[in-house]
């Protein structure tokens, strides 16, 4: 009996430990641009079983960190914006294109079309993109630092990155065939108003 209880305890502990290595969107409420670098989850090594939600979150906090360093107000996370960003990154990877328009699917051609699928009813949106091929990195943090470096190196994209009008934001990252597809979405002027989304978040 004691052996059974000990085995059960070890099993439960292992499950809990594993769970701590996966991103939960509830953590957006407690994690900030000021404390995320101190959390082991962002230092995890990249492997074939990518935690796409963690990639999205890492880039989100790096974005707010960059804004804070430039004396800009931080922006809030918004789930429909993540749905929007991630599904565009996904489609770029699946259809092998890179750009703000999806010419292969009229329902997703423009950001306003994709916003509808993401459940956003008042889109005041701006979009930044990054695309990296055959880039090696050790951790979730290190690869996302490469993403933010590419985004802010583009003058037009840095303008959006540091916009005073931005109030909410989220990111989407997809990896396919040694290619990283990265999307940042900013909502300006007012907070997102939403309805049920057709598209979904990454698993």
The tokens describing 66, both together, are 């960059």
Higher pLDDT, 137 or 190: 190
- Say what the pLDDT of residue 185 is: 98
Check whether 8 has a pLDDT greater than 80: no
pLDDT exceeding 70 applies to what percent of the chain? 90
pLDDT digits (tens, 9 = 90+) for 36-86: 999 999 999 999 899 999 999 999 999 999 999 999 999 999 999 999 999
Confidence band, pLDDT 50/70/90 cuts, at residue 20:
low
pLDDT exceeding 90 applies to what percent of the chain? 86
Confidence band, pLDDT 50/70/90 cuts, at residue 2:
low
Residues 14-32, mean pLDDT to the nearest whole number = 77
Helices (H), 106-174: 111-117, 140-153, 155-161
Confidence band, pLDDT 50/70/90 cuts, at residue 1:
low
Closest to 184 (Cα-Cα) out of 168, 172, 201, 167 = 172
- Say what the pLDDT of residue 123 is: 98
Check whether 138 has a pLDDT greater than 80: yes
- Say what the pLDDT of residue 140 is: 97
DSSP state of 139: B
The tokens describing 118, both together, are 């993401």
Check whether 131 has a pLDDT greater than 60: yes
- Say what the pLDDT of residue 13 is: 36
Helices (H), 22-138: 52-69, 79-95, 111-117
Closest to 88 (Cα-Cα) out of 58, 68, 60, 108 = 108
Q: Say how many C-beta atoms besides its own lie within 10 A of residue 1's C-beta.
A: 5
The length of the chain in residues reads 203
b/e map 85-119, b = 16+ CB within 10 Å: bbbbbbbbbeeeeeeeebeeeeebeebebbbbbbb
Q: Can you state the angle between helices 140-153 and 52-69, rounded to 10 degrees? A: 50
Check whether 16 has a pLDDT greater than 50: no
Residues 163-173, mean pLDDT to the nearest whole number = 98
Check whether 161 has a pLDDT greater than 90: yes
Confidence band, pLDDT 50/70/90 cuts, at residue 6:
very low
Average pLDDT in the chain? 92
């Amino acid at each position: 009996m004691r052996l059974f209880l000990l085995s059960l305890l070890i099993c439960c502990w292992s499950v809990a430990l594993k769970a701590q290595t996966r991103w939960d969107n509830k953590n957006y409420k407690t994690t900030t641009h000021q404390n995320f670098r101190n959390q082991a989850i962002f230092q995890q090594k990249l492997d074939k079983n990518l935690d796409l939600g963690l990639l999205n979150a890492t880039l989100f906090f790096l974005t707010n960190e960059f804004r804070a360093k430039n004396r800009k107000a931080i922006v809030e996370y918004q789930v429909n914006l993540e749905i929007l960003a991630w599904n565009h990154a996904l489609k770029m990877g699946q259809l092998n294109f890179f750009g703000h328009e999806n010419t292969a699917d009229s329902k997703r051609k423009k950001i306003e079309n994709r916003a509808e699928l993401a459940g956003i009813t008042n889109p005041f949106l701006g979009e930044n993109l990054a695309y990296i091929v055959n880039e090696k990195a050790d951790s979730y943090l290190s690869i996302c630092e490469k993403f933010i470096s590419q985004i802010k190196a583009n003058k037009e994209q840095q303008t959006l990155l540091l916009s005073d009008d931005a109030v909410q934001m989220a990111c989407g990252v997809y990896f396919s065939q040694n290619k990283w597809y990265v999307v940042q979405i900013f909502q300006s002027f007012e907070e997102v108003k939403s309805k049920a989304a057709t598209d979904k978040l990454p698993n």
